[in-house]
Structure 1
Amino acid sequence: MWLRDLAAGDPNHSLHVVCGIEPAKALEILGVEPASIRPCDLPDSKPDEFTSLPCAALGIEPGSTAVLLAGRVGEWTFVYDDSGYTFDSTAGALSGYGRTAATSVYTINGEATLTFALDGDEVEDIVIDNLILEEDLLAMPAELRTAFEAAGVAEWEDLEPGEVDSLIGMRAACALAGLALTLDDVRRIPLLMAQRHEAG
């Protein structure tokens, strides 16, 4: 729910979660210049359907650059990327030095993935369209399996029996990090934000 409230109308975004690191350091690992990191107060609303709430907080045109929003809940830090610029090898980088991390991506075309990493190594790279829970859960690391079980499957009318919905990766990442949040909860967390230009 909180990701939906942060996102633009047709999101193309990514969510990173990592245990045991501060938000500013996570932003730096994701390619943000330290000098560009600033505190963030989210506005009351979005100006239009094309603008994410973090983008509105920064006061820039949507699509001109990615806005990364970071905060910490307990031992876990999250980074929300409103444009999905940060995704490639990010879970592995965030998980260095014995940490646990995951990156979930959802594109404007409905393509979705989740990458799970331990101690610098990406140990699971899941394409949600190919996920068959009955077959794949048992092969997952216990921590990730528990997260997918907690995420559940949305009751969408067009889903076939045994088919998962495309948002399960985002919910699993949230479940892994204990991010059962509302937007009001997020507003109460000390937040940091920064811009990140697309690689290349």
Structure 2
Amino acid sequence: MMPTPGFPPSTLDSEGTPIWISDLAAGDPNHILHVVRGIEPAEALEELGAKPGLIQSCELPDSKPNEWTSLPCAALGTAPGACAVLLAGRIGEWTFVYDDSGFTFDDAVTKALSADGRAAATSVYTINGDAHLTYAVDGEQVEWVNVDDLLVEEDLAGMPAELRAAFEAAGIAEWEGLEPGEADSLIAMRAACALAGLALTLSDVRRVPLLVVPLG
């Protein structure tokens, strides 16, 4: 079995990050991915605190101007660090929101996104390599996964079925020094993508209508 069975090699970078996310991200990222089923991108952005009048259509530029500027930040034309930039789109039943600065770091946000019978997950990865995932259904948090404490063979059995399937698809990246069953710190980002069917390349993302908004 592949170490990351839900992801063809073309959809991950050399570290095991979903490649569309690493292609969006600035260097040394401190970022968040929200995924939610059954909501439109503009509504998801508003749930995350975006002002409707600032939300605009987005065409991602061909490249980043420098390593410290995320691609959504470059699309908006803002200086790195001036504000967070949220990028949203929908593929199938699932909407994704990529937060390039980790500004929407709040587990209550996931519960809000999941209101009215929806399912949502939030994957957080900090500049220090801390990582966790929150999963909520119908406005209630169902699971919180701290990657540092995750023992894949033991902990997956107790997860809700669709989240367990997502972590199984995420697998474990081939990092040196990991103990048997120990998760790499990027597993939560892969699991969020697997949950929402986002084993993609940046070219795939460019083909869907995208929205961008500054926040903070």
- 1:1-200 equivalences under 5 Å are 1-88=19-106, 89-197=108-216
Instruction: Note the alpha carbon deviations across 1:150-176, whole angstroms, 9 max, x for none.
Output: 001000112122211000000000000
Local SS of the residue matching 2:165: helix
TM-score (structure 1 length as normaliser): 0.97
CA distance in 1, matches of 2:130, 2:25: 16
CA distance in 1, matches of 2:203, 2:194: 18
- Which residue type is aligned with residue 44 of structure 1? D
Q: Which runs of 5+ in 1 are unaligned?
A: none
Local SS of the residue matching 1:86: coil
CA distance in 1, matches of 2:35, 2:181: 27
Q: Which runs of 5+ in 2 are unaligned?
A: 1-18
Moved over 2 A (4+): none
Deviates more, 1:150-159 or 1:67-76: 150-159
TM-score (structure 2 length as normaliser): 0.90
Aligned residues, how many?
197
Q: CA-atom RMSD, angstroms?
A: 0.6
Shift of 1:180: 1.2
CA distance in 2, matches of 1:51, 1:184: 19
- Which residue type is aligned with residue 25 of structure 2? A
Local SS of the residue matching 2:67: coil
Shift of 1:22: 0.2
Contact 1:147 1:172 in 2 (8 A): yes
